[in-house]
Amino acid sequence: MGAVVVGVLVTAGLLSSRPTASSEVREAPPFTLPTSDGSEVSLADYRGEPVVLYFNEGAGCDSCLQQMAEIEKDPDFVEAGITVLPIVMNTADQINADRERLGVESPFLLDDGTVSEAYGTLGTGMHEGLPGHGFVLVDAEGQQVWQGDYPSMWLAPDDLLSEVRRHL
């Protein structure tokens, strides 16, 4: 009996950590957010080029920041003209401490939850009120053309780039 319960729990855990994806096309919700370096970024700034929004748990989630560090190291994103914008629900001080510690160069966009909610990323990870570990592709025309959520807290950068290229 105990083995059956363990089997059910393991199966439920594996199913809940599987990635989910959607290729539903819709107008990407517009936004302007402050960044961890004190500047401001609008989605409209990227009109005419594709952009990947990387919603993640942020400060305290080393996997989330290591994901961004690995994306930064991959020259194929720059060569493909793909910008990745990490979005978190932290203060600049919170995320910058982890960025420094883990060697992440990109400034993070600081969301109060409004943008994460508009993109449907809240509660897709381990914490109900935070975005999970997901990516949203906005094409050059401002259309959201793909969204992938990765509860396992990792997507290899080359796999991310393959998904992006497949949906452009």
**What letter would DSSP give residue 126?**
S
> What are the C-alpha distances in Å from 159 to residues 70, 98, 133?
12, 25, 14
For residue 115 the two structure tokens come to 């943008």
Which helix (H) or strand (E) segment holds residue 68: the answer is helix 62-73
- Cβ of 166: how many Cβ atoms within 10 Å? 11
For residue 97, the one-letter residue type is: A
- Cβ of 95: how many Cβ atoms within 10 Å? 25
Residue 61: active-site member? no
In degrees and rounded to multiples of 5, residue 88 shows phi and psi of -135, 165
The residue annotated as part of the active site, out of 64, 68, 95, 153, is 64
Question: Catalytic positions, please?
Answer: 64
